[in-house]
Amino acid sequence: MSLPLIAGDAVVGAMNVYAHAPDSFDERSEELGELFAVPAAIAVQNAQILAQTRRLAQTLQAALTSQAVIDQAVGVMRGRSGISAEEALERLRQHSQREHIKVSVVAAGIVQEAIRRARARRRPDLN
Protein backbone atom coordinates (compact mmCIF):
# COMPACT_ATOMS: atom_id res chain seq x y z
CA MET A 1 0.00 0.00 0.00
CA SER A 2 1.41 3.40 -0.96
CA LEU A 3 0.09 6.61 0.55
CA PRO A 4 1.06 10.15 -0.43
CA LEU A 5 2.57 12.35 2.27
CA ILE A 6 0.74 15.63 1.79
CA ALA A 7 1.72 18.80 3.66
CA GLY A 8 -0.35 21.81 2.75
CA ASP A 9 -0.80 21.71 -1.01
CA ALA A 10 2.39 19.75 -1.74
CA VAL A 11 3.23 16.08 -1.84
CA VAL A 12 6.46 15.77 0.16
CA GLY A 13 6.92 12.04 -0.19
CA ALA A 14 5.20 8.69 0.00
CA MET A 15 4.72 6.09 2.67
CA ASN A 16 4.94 2.52 1.40
CA VAL A 17 3.67 -0.33 3.54
CA TYR A 18 4.39 -3.92 2.58
CA ALA A 19 2.80 -7.23 3.55
CA HIS A 20 3.78 -10.80 2.74
CA ALA A 21 0.28 -12.15 2.18
CA PRO A 22 -1.75 -11.10 -0.87
CA ASP A 23 -4.76 -8.84 -0.26
CA SER A 24 -3.53 -7.94 3.23
CA PHE A 25 -4.80 -4.39 3.08
CA ASP A 26 -8.48 -3.54 3.40
CA GLU A 27 -10.37 -0.27 3.89
CA ARG A 28 -9.43 -0.19 7.59
CA SER A 29 -5.77 -0.54 6.63
CA GLU A 30 -6.11 2.43 4.30
CA GLU A 31 -7.80 4.49 7.02
CA LEU A 32 -5.04 3.68 9.50
CA GLY A 33 -2.41 4.38 6.86
CA GLU A 34 -3.91 7.77 6.15
CA LEU A 35 -3.88 8.55 9.89
CA PHE A 36 -0.15 7.79 10.00
CA ALA A 37 0.51 9.63 6.74
CA VAL A 38 -0.54 13.00 8.17
CA PRO A 39 2.08 13.25 10.95
CA ALA A 40 4.63 11.55 8.70
CA ALA A 41 4.10 14.26 6.08
CA ILE A 42 4.58 16.95 8.71
CA ALA A 43 7.76 15.25 9.93
CA VAL A 44 9.14 15.01 6.39
CA GLN A 45 8.28 18.63 5.67
CA ASN A 46 9.92 19.73 8.94
CA ALA A 47 13.04 17.72 8.09
CA GLN A 48 13.17 19.37 4.65
CA ILE A 49 12.79 22.82 6.18
CA LEU A 50 15.49 22.06 8.75
CA ALA A 51 17.90 20.84 6.06
CA GLN A 52 17.20 23.91 3.94
CA THR A 53 17.70 26.20 6.94
CA ARG A 54 21.01 24.52 7.80
CA ARG A 55 22.23 24.92 4.22
CA LEU A 56 21.24 28.59 4.29
CA ALA A 57 23.00 29.13 7.63
CA GLN A 58 26.17 27.49 6.30
CA THR A 59 26.03 29.60 3.15
CA LEU A 60 25.56 32.78 5.15
CA GLN A 61 28.38 31.86 7.54
CA ALA A 62 30.72 31.22 4.61
CA ALA A 63 29.70 34.54 3.06
CA LEU A 64 30.37 36.39 6.31
CA THR A 65 33.76 34.72 6.67
CA SER A 66 34.67 35.53 3.06
CA GLN A 67 33.52 39.11 3.47
CA ALA A 68 35.65 39.52 6.60
CA VAL A 69 38.76 38.31 4.74
CA ILE A 70 37.97 40.60 1.80
CA ASP A 71 37.56 43.54 4.18
CA GLN A 72 40.91 42.71 5.81
CA ALA A 73 42.61 42.57 2.40
CA VAL A 74 41.07 45.90 1.44
CA GLY A 75 42.48 47.36 4.65
CA VAL A 76 45.95 45.96 3.93
CA MET A 77 45.87 47.35 0.39
CA ARG A 78 44.70 50.74 1.59
CA GLY A 79 47.43 50.82 4.22
CA ARG A 80 50.13 49.92 1.69
CA SER A 81 49.14 52.20 -1.16
CA GLY A 82 46.71 54.80 0.20
CA ILE A 83 43.99 53.89 -2.30
CA SER A 84 40.28 54.06 -1.53
CA ALA A 85 38.28 51.05 -0.40
CA GLU A 86 36.48 51.03 -3.76
CA GLU A 87 39.79 51.00 -5.65
CA ALA A 88 41.15 48.20 -3.48
CA LEU A 89 38.03 46.12 -4.02
CA GLU A 90 38.18 46.73 -7.76
CA ARG A 91 41.81 45.60 -7.83
CA LEU A 92 40.86 42.44 -5.96
CA ARG A 93 38.10 41.77 -8.49
CA GLN A 94 40.40 42.38 -11.43
CA HIS A 95 43.06 40.04 -10.02
CA SER A 96 40.36 37.44 -9.34
CA GLN A 97 39.09 37.60 -12.92
CA ARG A 98 42.58 37.60 -14.43
CA GLU A 99 43.67 34.55 -12.42
CA HIS A 100 40.25 32.80 -12.49
CA ILE A 101 40.09 32.41 -8.72
CA LYS A 102 37.58 33.64 -6.17
CA VAL A 103 37.95 37.13 -4.74
CA SER A 104 38.03 35.63 -1.25
CA VAL A 105 41.00 33.43 -2.23
CA VAL A 106 42.89 36.45 -3.61
CA ALA A 107 42.05 38.35 -0.43
CA ALA A 108 43.19 35.50 1.80
CA GLY A 109 46.54 35.46 -0.02
CA ILE A 110 47.01 39.18 0.58
CA VAL A 111 46.12 38.83 4.26
CA GLN A 112 48.44 35.83 4.72
CA GLU A 113 51.29 37.69 3.03
CA ALA A 114 50.71 40.73 5.26
CA ILE A 115 50.79 38.47 8.33
CA ARG A 116 53.97 36.77 7.13
CA ARG A 117 55.67 40.14 6.56
CA ALA A 118 54.55 41.50 9.93
CA ARG A 119 55.90 38.43 11.71
CA ALA A 120 59.18 38.66 9.81
CA ARG A 121 59.59 42.30 10.84
CA ARG A 122 58.79 41.51 14.45
CA ARG A 123 61.03 38.41 14.72
CA PRO A 124 63.83 38.54 12.16
CA ASP A 125 65.42 35.41 13.68
CA LEU A 126 62.56 33.31 12.17
CA ASN A 127 63.60 34.03 8.54
- Residue 124: what pLDDT? 60
- Angstrom distance (rounded) from CA 74 to CA 71: 5
pLDDT tens sequence across 70-103: 999 999 999 999 999 999 999 999 999 999 999 9
Backbone angles phi, psi at 23, to 5 degrees: 55, 40
Q: In this predicted structure, what is the pLDDT of residue 122?
A: 81
Alpha helices in 7-126 (DSSP H): 27-81, 85-99, 103-122
Q: Based on the structure, what is the number of domains in the chain?
A: 1
Neighbour count for residue 107 (Cβ, 10 Å): 26
Could you give the CA distance from residue 57 to residue 63 in angstroms, rounded to a whole number? Answer: 10
The pLDDT of residue 88: 96
> Which residues, given as ranges, of the chain have pLDDT below 70?
123-127
For residue 99, give its domain range: 2-126
